Amino acid sequence: MNGGESRFEWTAEELRTVGHQVVDLVVEHLTGLRDEPVFRPVPQTVVRGFETEAVPQDGAPVDAVLGEFAARVEPWPFGNGHPRFYGWVNPPPHPLGVFAELLVAAMNPSVAGGNHAAVHVERQVVRWFAELAGLPGTAHGLLVSGGSAATLTGLAVARHRAALRAGRPVREDGVQAGAGGPAAARFVVYQGTEGHGSARKAAELLGIGSGNVRVVGSDDGHRIRVPALRDAIAADVRAGHVPVAVLASAGTVNTGAVDDLAAIGDVCAEFGVWLHVDAAYGGPAVLLLPRFAAVRAALGRADSVALDPHKWLYAPVDAGLVLFRDGAPARDAFSLVPPYLRTDDDPAGVGGPVWFSEYGFEQTRPFRALKVWMLLKHLGVRGYRELIEHDLAVADRIAAAVAAAPELQLLARGLSVVCFRCRPPGGPDGEELDELNRRVLRAVQLGGGAFLAGTTVDGVFALRACVVNPRATAGDADALVAQVRAGLAADGAPGRAGQADQAGEAR
C-alpha cells in the first residue's frame, strides 16, 4: 500500500485503513464547508498543474494520492454543498447518498439487466415513483444521468410512436423518409418560452430539428398559453405535419413556473399527441406536497415524465429518472438486442425481468438506484416533505427580504425560485441596469459569501436564487440578500447609503 505497486488485492486491514482515511476526508469536507467561501475559482497555478502534468508512469502510494486530492481538488468545489449556495438547481448531497455511492462502487454492477439485486432495487424505485406520480400499473421507467437524458429518452419514444402512426419507420429510415422530400411532413414538438434547453437539444439529436420546435408564448405567470398551444397544433395538423410531443414543465428552471398540466393534457388528448412533463426540478414538490394534489392528478395523465433525484431529492449526481405511462412503446423504440444478450422475462433464471437496456440508450448502466432507494427508505415521504417545505420557506424568506428592500425588485417567484434584480431608485434603466446587475452578480459570486445565478426574466437580466438546500438557515437566506445589497453598494450605484453595514452584520 505504501509503494506505487500494481497489486490489485488489498487485505481487509488495508481496505479498512484507506477506508477510514477516505471517510475522514468526507467528514472534513462536509463539516468544513460552512467555514469556507461558497465558491472560489481554481487558482491559475493549480490549473496549470492540471494542464501540464505528464501521464504518471510510476504509481504513487495511496497516501500520496489522497493527499493530492486534499490539496488540489477538495479546496475548489462547485459550491453546492455549502449552506449559502442558491445557484441553478444543485443541492448539497444528503450524507447517506454519499455513502451509498461507496457501496455502489464496491458492488459495481452493470444494471443493463439480469437477475441481481440492483435490477430489483431499480425496479422498486421506478414503481414507487410511478405510484407517487399517479401513473397506471402499465408504467415503467429507468434511472438515467439527469433531466436532459430523461427528456431525450421520453422524446425518442414519442417520436417513435408518432412516426409509426404516420407510416414512417423511423428506426429503419431515420428522419430521411418524409415522402416527397424535405419540404414534406415535418415532425414538430411544442414547448413554452420557459421550457428547458435540454428539450431543444433532444429535438436536434432526434433529427426533429430546433426549427421544428414550436415555442409557445407564456402567460403572466410564465406558463404555457394553452389556447396558443392548441392553435399551433391545429395549424400543424392542417398543414399535414406530425405533432410528436408537447413538452410541458412542472417547475421551470428559470422561474419555477408550473404549467397548467390538466388543460395541456386535454389538448394532447384531443390531438393524440404525446405529453412529456419536465418535472426534473419541481417533481418532488409536486409528488410529495399535499398542496400540489391538483397538479399531481394532472401529471398522472402524462405519457412520460422527467424527474431528477439529483435535484430536489438531494441524491448525489448523477440520478435522473424517466417514467413512461406505458413501458411497451419505450421498449419498441429502444429494444435492439443481439442474440447473445436477448432475454425475455425470465423471473427465476439468469435473465431476470426484461432488461432495462431495452428501454433506453445505455447498455452498461450504473447502479443509480441504490442512493435513491436508501434515501427514500431513510427519510420516507414525510421526511422529504419536511426538507422540501424547509426549502420553500427559505425561498419565501428571501422573497420577503427582497420585497422589503427599496433598491431590490422582485421579478418572479415560483416553487423555490426567487428572481429579482437591483433597481436603485434614481438609478439606471434598460441595458445599463442589466449591466449593473451582471456586475453585482459577479461580485457576489466571487465574494464567496453566498452564491446565486443569473437569468433573463421577461427580457431583463435577473438574479436568480433557487433553494434546494436543507443546510440553509434563515440567517443564510438573510445573508444572501445582504450580500446582494452590499454588492450594489460597492458598485457605487445611487440609492444605497447605509446598506453595507447591514450586509456585513448578516455575514
Of the candidates 302, 184, 291, the one whose C-alpha atom is nearest the C-alpha of residue 240 is 184
Could you list the residues that contact ligand PLP (CB under 6 A)?
88-89, 146-148, 196, 198, 251-253, 278, 280-281, 308, 320
CB atoms within 10 A of CB 239: 10
Contact 484, 86 (CB under 8 A): no
> What is the C-alpha separation between 360 and 357, in angstroms, rounded?
6
What grid cell was written down for 449?
Answer: 459569501
CB of 502 to ligand PLP, least distance (A): 32
CB of 152 to ligand PLP, least distance (A): 9
CB of 223 to ligand PLP, least distance (A): 13
CB of 88 to ligand PLP, least distance (A): 6
CB of 228 to ligand PLP, least distance (A): 21
Nearer to ligand PLP, 198 or 455 (CB): 198
CB of 22 to ligand PLP, least distance (A): 26
Nearer to ligand PLP, 254 or 437 (CB): 254
Nearer to ligand PLP, 119 or 305 (CB): 305
CB of 16 to ligand PLP, least distance (A): 35
Q: Which residues contact 347 (CB under 8 A, 6 or more apart)?
A: 115, 353
Nearer to ligand PLP, 415 or 436 (CB): 415
Of the candidates 181, 179, 171, the one whose C-alpha atom is nearest the C-alpha of residue 206 is 171
What grid cell was written down for 94?
Answer: 444528503
For residue 260, give the 3-state DSSP assignment.
coil
Phi/psi at 215 (5° precision): -95, 110
- Cα-based angle 350, 362, 281 (whole degrees, multiple of 5): 120
For residue 100, give the 3-state DSSP assignment.
helix
Nearer to ligand PLP, 33 or 280 (CB): 280
DSSP character at residue 143: E
> What is the C-alpha separation between 150 and 351, in angstroms, rounded?
25
Task: For the sheet with 460-466, list strands across it.
Answer: 85-86, 451-457, 460-466, 417-422, 408-414
Phi/psi at 324 (5° precision): -115, 140
Nearer to ligand PLP, 357 or 416 (CB): 416
Nearer to ligand PLP, 148 or 416 (CB): 148
For residue 243, give the 3-state DSSP assignment.
strand
CB of 148 to ligand PLP, least distance (A): 3
User: Which one-letter amino acid corresponds to residue 95?
Assistant: P
CB of 2 to ligand PLP, least distance (A): 40
The residue count for the chain: 507
Nearer to ligand PLP, 114 or 320 (CB): 320
H helical segments located in 405-429: none
Nearer to ligand PLP, 260 or 407 (CB): 260
CB of 163 to ligand PLP, least distance (A): 24
DSSP H or E run through 275: strand 274-278
CB of 284 to ligand PLP, least distance (A): 12
> What is the C-alpha separation between 500 and 416, in angstroms, rounded?
27
Contact 477, 413 (CB under 8 A): no
Nearer to ligand PLP, 192 or 487 (CB): 192
H helical segments located in 405-473: 430-447
Nearer to ligand PLP, 221 or 353 (CB): 221
Nearer to ligand PLP, 198 or 218 (CB): 198
* Residue whose grid cell is 424517466: 322
CB of 62 to ligand PLP, least distance (A): 33
What grid cell was written down for 270?
Answer: 384531443
What grid cell was written down for 209?
Answer: 430539428
